[in-house]
Amino acid sequence: MKKMTNFLPLVEQFHSLQGEGYHAGKSAFFIRLAGCKVGCSWCDTKHSWDEKKYPSISIEKIIDHIIIARDKGATFCVITGGEPLQHNLDNLCNAIKQIKIGEKQNSMKIHIETSGVDSLSGRYDWITLSPKRHSPPRNYFLKNCNEIKIIINELADIKFAIQIKKEIFKQCQISKVEDSLKKEDKIFYLQPAWNNKDGFSLAIDFVKNNPDWKLSLQTQKYLKIK
Protein backbone atom coordinates (compact mmCIF):
# COMPACT_ATOMS: atom_id res chain seq x y z
CA MET A 1 0.00 0.00 0.00
CA LYS A 2 1.37 3.40 -1.00
CA LYS A 3 2.14 5.76 1.88
CA MET A 4 0.11 8.92 2.23
CA THR A 5 2.09 12.01 1.36
CA ASN A 6 1.88 15.79 1.29
CA PHE A 7 4.51 16.05 -1.46
CA LEU A 8 4.35 14.79 -5.05
CA PRO A 9 6.87 14.77 -7.93
CA LEU A 10 5.48 17.39 -10.29
CA VAL A 11 6.36 17.53 -13.99
CA GLU A 12 4.09 20.47 -14.75
CA GLN A 13 0.80 22.12 -13.85
CA PHE A 14 -1.15 24.40 -16.16
CA HIS A 15 -4.56 25.81 -17.03
CA SER A 16 -5.76 24.88 -20.50
CA LEU A 17 -8.54 23.13 -22.42
CA GLN A 18 -9.13 19.41 -22.13
CA GLY A 19 -8.15 18.16 -25.56
CA GLU A 20 -9.33 14.55 -25.54
CA GLY A 21 -12.34 12.37 -24.87
CA TYR A 22 -15.78 13.25 -23.53
CA HIS A 23 -14.77 16.56 -21.91
CA ALA A 24 -12.79 17.90 -24.88
CA GLY A 25 -12.99 21.66 -25.22
CA LYS A 26 -13.68 22.39 -21.54
CA SER A 27 -11.57 24.61 -19.32
CA ALA A 28 -9.47 22.56 -16.90
CA PHE A 29 -6.42 22.63 -14.68
CA PHE A 30 -3.87 19.89 -15.35
CA ILE A 31 -1.53 18.27 -12.83
CA ARG A 32 1.08 16.05 -14.47
CA LEU A 33 2.91 13.83 -12.00
CA ALA A 34 6.22 12.10 -12.64
CA GLY A 35 6.78 8.38 -12.54
CA CYS A 36 5.61 5.55 -14.78
CA LYS A 37 6.51 1.87 -14.87
CA VAL A 38 4.18 0.97 -17.76
CA GLY A 39 6.65 2.24 -20.37
CA CYS A 40 4.77 2.43 -23.69
CA SER A 41 7.19 2.70 -26.62
CA TRP A 42 4.97 5.28 -28.37
CA CYS A 43 4.36 7.45 -25.28
CA ASP A 44 4.49 11.20 -25.97
CA THR A 45 5.40 12.08 -22.37
CA LYS A 46 8.42 9.82 -21.84
CA HIS A 47 10.13 12.72 -20.09
CA SER A 48 7.75 12.15 -17.17
CA TRP A 49 8.75 8.53 -16.48
CA ASP A 50 11.65 9.14 -14.09
CA GLU A 51 10.27 10.80 -10.98
CA LYS A 52 13.80 11.39 -9.64
CA LYS A 53 14.24 14.12 -12.26
CA TYR A 54 11.48 16.24 -10.79
CA PRO A 55 11.12 18.13 -7.51
CA SER A 56 8.66 17.03 -4.86
CA ILE A 57 6.15 19.86 -4.58
CA SER A 58 3.88 20.36 -1.60
CA ILE A 59 0.17 19.80 -2.09
CA GLU A 60 -0.34 23.22 -0.55
CA LYS A 61 1.56 24.87 -3.43
CA ILE A 62 -0.37 22.85 -6.01
CA ILE A 63 -3.63 24.00 -4.43
CA ASP A 64 -2.51 27.64 -4.70
CA HIS A 65 -2.21 27.22 -8.48
CA ILE A 66 -5.57 25.43 -8.73
CA ILE A 67 -7.30 28.32 -6.96
CA ILE A 68 -5.80 30.80 -9.43
CA ALA A 69 -7.01 28.65 -12.34
CA ARG A 70 -10.45 28.28 -10.77
CA ASP A 71 -10.77 32.05 -10.54
CA LYS A 72 -9.90 32.25 -14.25
CA GLY A 73 -12.53 29.68 -15.28
CA ALA A 74 -11.21 26.14 -14.73
CA THR A 75 -14.09 23.98 -13.48
CA PHE A 76 -12.24 20.71 -12.88
CA CYS A 77 -8.76 19.29 -12.33
CA VAL A 78 -7.19 16.56 -14.44
CA ILE A 79 -4.55 14.43 -12.73
CA THR A 80 -2.33 12.71 -15.27
CA GLY A 81 1.24 11.54 -15.80
CA GLY A 82 3.21 9.46 -16.18
CA GLU A 83 1.06 7.07 -14.26
CA PRO A 84 -0.46 9.21 -11.48
CA LEU A 85 -1.71 6.31 -9.35
CA GLN A 86 1.87 5.23 -8.83
CA HIS A 87 1.53 7.69 -5.93
CA ASN A 88 -0.93 7.92 -3.06
CA LEU A 89 -3.33 10.69 -4.05
CA ASP A 90 -5.61 10.66 -0.99
CA ASN A 91 -4.28 13.90 0.48
CA LEU A 92 -4.19 15.68 -2.89
CA CYS A 93 -7.80 14.78 -3.66
CA ASN A 94 -8.97 15.71 -0.19
CA ALA A 95 -7.33 19.11 -0.54
CA ILE A 96 -8.83 19.72 -4.00
CA LYS A 97 -12.29 18.77 -2.76
CA GLN A 98 -12.08 21.57 -0.22
CA ILE A 99 -11.87 24.10 -3.06
CA LYS A 100 -15.33 25.50 -3.76
CA ILE A 101 -16.57 26.66 -7.14
CA GLY A 102 -19.63 28.48 -8.44
CA GLU A 103 -22.48 30.25 -6.71
CA LYS A 104 -23.61 27.01 -5.05
CA GLN A 105 -20.09 26.50 -3.69
CA ASN A 106 -19.79 22.97 -5.03
CA SER A 107 -16.53 21.10 -4.56
CA MET A 108 -14.17 21.24 -7.52
CA LYS A 109 -14.44 18.12 -9.64
CA ILE A 110 -11.45 15.82 -10.08
CA HIS A 111 -10.70 13.77 -13.19
CA ILE A 112 -7.91 11.23 -13.52
CA GLU A 113 -6.34 9.49 -16.50
CA THR A 114 -4.79 6.14 -15.67
CA SER A 115 -3.70 2.89 -17.25
CA GLY A 116 -5.30 1.12 -14.29
CA VAL A 117 -2.29 -0.95 -13.29
CA ASP A 118 -2.00 0.42 -9.74
CA SER A 119 -4.41 0.32 -6.82
CA LEU A 120 -6.79 3.21 -6.38
CA SER A 121 -6.09 6.13 -4.07
CA GLY A 122 -8.00 9.38 -3.97
CA ARG A 123 -11.59 9.99 -5.06
CA TYR A 124 -12.72 11.08 -8.51
CA ASP A 125 -15.69 12.46 -10.37
CA TRP A 126 -14.44 11.06 -13.69
CA ILE A 127 -12.07 8.20 -14.45
CA THR A 128 -10.52 7.88 -17.89
CA LEU A 129 -9.08 4.41 -18.30
CA SER A 130 -6.40 4.12 -20.97
CA PRO A 131 -5.38 0.44 -20.74
CA LYS A 132 -2.29 -0.96 -22.39
CA ARG A 133 -1.86 -4.32 -24.14
CA HIS A 134 1.38 -5.18 -22.39
CA SER A 135 0.17 -4.21 -18.90
CA PRO A 136 -3.56 -4.98 -18.37
CA PRO A 137 -5.65 -2.92 -15.93
CA ARG A 138 -7.09 -4.05 -12.63
CA ASN A 139 -10.72 -5.17 -12.57
CA TYR A 140 -11.68 -2.21 -10.37
CA PHE A 141 -11.03 0.21 -13.22
CA LEU A 142 -12.85 -1.94 -15.76
CA LYS A 143 -15.94 -1.70 -13.57
CA ASN A 144 -15.66 1.89 -12.38
CA CYS A 145 -14.21 3.92 -15.24
CA ASN A 146 -16.38 6.50 -17.00
CA GLU A 147 -14.64 6.44 -20.34
CA ILE A 148 -12.24 4.02 -22.00
CA LYS A 149 -9.59 5.36 -24.35
CA ILE A 150 -7.56 2.89 -26.39
CA ILE A 151 -4.52 4.27 -28.23
CA ILE A 152 -4.29 2.83 -31.74
CA ASN A 153 -0.95 2.20 -33.44
CA GLU A 154 -1.59 -1.09 -35.22
CA LEU A 155 -4.18 -3.80 -35.84
CA ALA A 156 -3.33 -5.56 -32.58
CA ASP A 157 -4.61 -2.50 -30.73
CA ILE A 158 -8.00 -2.81 -32.42
CA LYS A 159 -8.19 -6.44 -31.30
CA PHE A 160 -7.20 -5.35 -27.79
CA ALA A 161 -9.97 -2.72 -27.77
CA ILE A 162 -12.56 -5.35 -28.68
CA GLN A 163 -11.31 -7.66 -25.93
CA ILE A 164 -11.24 -4.88 -23.32
CA LYS A 165 -14.85 -4.00 -24.05
CA LYS A 166 -15.88 -7.63 -23.62
CA GLU A 167 -14.01 -7.80 -20.32
CA ILE A 168 -15.63 -4.57 -19.10
CA PHE A 169 -19.10 -5.92 -19.85
CA LYS A 170 -18.21 -9.15 -18.08
CA GLN A 171 -16.97 -7.35 -14.98
CA CYS A 172 -20.06 -5.13 -14.87
CA GLN A 173 -22.35 -8.14 -15.09
CA ILE A 174 -20.70 -10.02 -12.23
CA SER A 175 -20.44 -7.00 -9.92
CA LYS A 176 -23.16 -5.39 -7.84
CA VAL A 177 -24.81 -2.45 -9.57
CA GLU A 178 -24.20 -0.12 -6.62
CA ASP A 179 -20.47 -0.87 -6.75
CA SER A 180 -19.92 0.13 -10.37
CA LEU A 181 -21.20 2.16 -13.25
CA LYS A 182 -23.52 0.24 -15.53
CA LYS A 183 -21.91 -0.82 -18.78
CA GLU A 184 -24.39 1.37 -20.68
CA ASP A 185 -22.98 4.45 -18.90
CA LYS A 186 -19.46 3.95 -20.20
CA ILE A 187 -18.10 5.72 -23.26
CA PHE A 188 -15.67 3.92 -25.56
CA TYR A 189 -13.04 5.82 -27.55
CA LEU A 190 -10.33 4.92 -30.01
CA GLN A 191 -7.57 7.51 -30.19
CA PRO A 192 -4.98 7.30 -32.98
CA ALA A 193 -1.40 7.66 -31.82
CA TRP A 194 0.00 11.02 -32.87
CA ASN A 195 1.64 11.07 -36.32
CA ASN A 196 0.75 7.43 -36.95
CA LYS A 197 -0.98 7.06 -40.33
CA ASP A 198 -1.85 3.42 -39.71
CA GLY A 199 -3.34 4.33 -36.36
CA PHE A 200 -5.53 7.01 -37.91
CA SER A 201 -6.86 4.84 -40.73
CA LEU A 202 -7.46 1.85 -38.45
CA ALA A 203 -9.29 3.92 -35.83
CA ILE A 204 -11.44 5.77 -38.36
CA ASP A 205 -12.42 2.63 -40.25
CA PHE A 206 -13.30 0.79 -37.04
CA VAL A 207 -15.42 3.61 -35.62
CA LYS A 208 -17.25 4.02 -38.95
CA ASN A 209 -18.33 0.40 -38.73
CA ASN A 210 -18.83 0.20 -34.96
CA PRO A 211 -21.11 3.05 -33.83
CA ASP A 212 -20.82 2.06 -30.16
CA TRP A 213 -17.26 3.44 -30.34
CA LYS A 214 -16.25 7.08 -30.82
CA LEU A 215 -13.13 8.74 -32.20
CA SER A 216 -11.00 10.81 -29.83
CA LEU A 217 -8.35 13.16 -31.21
CA GLN A 218 -5.59 15.05 -29.41
CA THR A 219 -7.10 18.41 -30.31
CA GLN A 220 -4.61 20.23 -28.09
CA LYS A 221 -1.86 19.27 -30.54
CA TYR A 222 -3.78 20.58 -33.54
CA LEU A 223 -4.43 23.81 -31.63
CA LYS A 224 -0.78 23.89 -30.49
CA ILE A 225 -1.70 24.40 -26.87
CA LYS A 226 -0.73 22.39 -23.81
Tell me whether residue 1 is in a domain: no
Tell me whether residue 60 is in a domain: yes
Rounded to two decimals, the pTM is 0.95
Domains held by the chain: number: 1
pLDDT tens per residue, range 17-62? 999 999 999 999 999 999 999 998 888 889 999 999 999 999 999 9
Contacts of 171 (CB under 8 A, 6+ apart): 139, 142, 143, 180
pLDDT at 177 over 70: no
Q: 219 with 18: CB under 8 angstroms?
A: no
Domain that holds residue 163: 7-223
Q: H helices within 89-154, ranges in order?
A: 90-97, 139-144
Residue 184 sits in a domain whose CATH number is 3.20.20.70
Provide the b/e sequence for 175-191 (b: ≥16 CB within 10 Å).
beeeebbeeeebbbbbb
Cα separation of 208 and 202, whole Å? 10
Tell me whether residue 119 is in a domain: yes
Cα separation of 21 and 191, whole Å? 9
What's the one-letter identity of residue 155?
L
pLDDT value for 52: 94
Q: Cα-flanking dihedrals φ and ψ of residue 8, to 5°?
A: -140, 145
**How much is the average pLDDT of 98-110?**
93
Region of poorest pLDDT, from 36-45, 107-116, 174-183, 211-220? 174-183
